[in-house]
Structure 1
Amino acid sequence: MREKLDWTGRRLEVEVGPVAHGGHCVARYEGRVIFVRHALPGEWVLAEVTEDRGGGFCRADAMEVRRAAPGRVTPPCPLADMARGTERCGGCDWQHADGTTQRELKSAVVTEQLQRIAGLDIPVEVRELPGGLLRWRSRVRLAVNGSGRPGLRVHRSHRVIPLADCPITVAGALDDVTSHQWPQQSELEVTRDAAGEVHVTAHGREPARRQRGREKPVSRSVRGDGIAREEAAGRSWHLGAHGFWQVHPAAADAFAATVARMARAPSGGHAWDLYGGVGLFAAVLAEQVGPAGSVLMAESSRRAVDDASANLRDLPQVEFRAGKVERIITGQGLARPDVVVLDPPRKGAGRAVAEAVSAYRPTRIVHVACDPAALARDLGLFIEHGYRVAEIEAFDAFPMTHHVECIAALERIDEGPL
């Protein structure tokens, strides 16, 4: 039997190739693929293998740069510094690249995923949002280590790196959070809303001896009133402090404006907002269809639906339904929508939802996605059912990370009779 390869801990000098989806670049060594973090295309680096399961690839971190790429910079956060070796914070992927380079890398990833998965040759340019690379993250989840100190985990590891501050988190969010001791192995959700209020909720487990041998998850709010106040699309929003809302302060307005431009729901028409969250896009669609039209908002989270209903009480043309989207849209008695907007979770909408939406033959579909691979899969499904991609916008809504937000507009090719 052939002995299983395991290069874990081995250091390899490699030439770094193209960027890949997931915050790393591709290199090759002795016929194997190496996914290298903290490197840039075109560099020569000394990389240490951090994970090897014996297949055709392994994972590594750049330890030394022998030949740097033009876009390389010194990371602004000490927890991302190369001197830390493999014990770097896993929260950011591209702190070693300047802003232009980061957006070029993300553009390359989106373009490649669309071509490889969906067969679409559409060059995509990732646009910058206002505010720069730092102090944009308004919501963050921290882990607490065995000493009661909060921090972030090493990439693909449970190890927690304690921190005093996080430079991509909005100013003031972590004040009086990282300086405190917290229950060991708990997690903290921290949100700083548009009004400047910080909300902190601690999640842990009740000791087993108090639960007849079984631990019980417990959560408690330790700061703030639990209601976030946000502003977007010309409206004020009140929602659960850690409920669904865009992390970047400029994102909600930018996405709402883009969806409005792409959707173009007709006055008096009918629209769907699927995976509607707290109703941001439902509000946009409701304004377009007007009082004579109607909007169906579907969302699986009951709390989000309650928040949406309260925030949009002045828009009676919006109908709210809580439940799985695929069940709601395959039910009886639904009117044919002119436009469908969907903002599914990271895994995408999937075949069942794409087929159900396509069966109603809406004139336009607007797809919002935070994962380019999932977007490409979904677009491919809609193309199978008679749609073409009219345009794609992409936004750098998560600077310093590999994440990118895309919004795609699709149109029916055949507008014949139903």
Structure 2
Amino acid sequence: MEIVTAILIIGFAALAAAFCLLLIGLVYSEAMNSEIPPGVSNSRKLHAVHCGIVGTAVVGRILERLGLCSQVSFTRWCTCRFMGFRPPPPSGLRIKDLTFGGVPVRVYEPTATSAQKRRGMMYFHGGGWVMGSIDLYDEICWHIAKETDTTVLSVGYRLAPEHRFPAHLDDCEAATLHFLSVAEAEFGVDPARVVLGGDSAGGNLTAALSQRLVVKRDRNQPSPLALVLIYPALQMADFNLPSYQQNHAVPLLFRARTAFYYLQYLNGDMSVCEDVLAGRHVPADLKQHYKKWLDPANLPAQFRERCDPHPEVATDYDGEVYHIIKDGLQPEFSPLLAEDDVLRLMPPTFILTCEYDVLRDDGILFQKRLKDLGVEVTWINISDGFHGILSFFTKGKAYFSSGAKAMEHIVNYIKAL
């Protein structure tokens, strides 16, 4: 009996060792596909963070193939456990969970008395419309609330793949309209001084919601005071802009992963991912229409360096692919593709981009369009930043100075409103 037990123990140990070696090999292989430019601050730290994310994704993929749980569910669980750790909130804030328009929100309300009605902010978190949560953005929101003396509302909108476009945007609208209706009476916030803001996918929702409110033009409803767009995702028409070429394998957002997130948000049809990346999803007439907005020549010269001036882009158009993704080219999904008569009605806008981010050029092209149309724009580019840097503005050993720099710019802009 003892021999059988010993054999079983050795067998399990061998299987565990084999699994660990397989996992290490897969993580190493995936991590080696990344390219971290020398200009990124704390490149070794970023590499370590990336390896942790890749490891989580690999384990999730294995568990999904074993039928134990989905990769998305496992990644969300791990992210909440490792990134969700946060210190106690600072004094001077009243934090409570509520439901606005059927949507969960967390309110961060300064307790100090104010001589006038306070400023408010709706914050829409990032995460590719698939990840992210109110809990993960706790520290970001309470920091903004505390440092700018603003009542901040973090919105827990529905996520893909369980919910698709426009569910996320509908939730953001419902929560915002509810807050505007009760801001003064229940929170002492001037409804005419409410900012809309968010990062990455949240930046997309911010821009799209602002446009939706403009189109509806409810004269009894105050317009947003300003928009705060933090490395926003703004269009799925062109995945071959210079920033996509230069930063295609820079963590924390790869070029191919960006298309994955867009498609998850849209309809979940991943069969067209390669066609979308190649540009086969946009008809020639639409490509010509978008060219005036998406032409790399519209970018400052320094952002066109480090890339092929004539990238290989598919010239063959696939009507079937277009039929699958055509809703992704409408302005509520791709706000950069809105017409001029809508964009010129946008409120003052703050746009933060990062040098080593595939989405950098979305933000730069959007700020140019707004400026050309007479909208007041403040644009900041973090020269050593990468996508997702705001999540590391204060994370102990995972702290990045570029994240703190980004947060400082955001805080200063909001305080000046």
| Shared fold per TM-score greater than 0.5 | no
Structure richer in strand, relative to its length: 1
Structure number with the higher helix fraction is: 2
Q: Could you tell me the TM-score, scaled by structure 1's length?
A: 0.33
- Which has the bigger relative contact order, CA under 8 A and spacing at least 6? 2
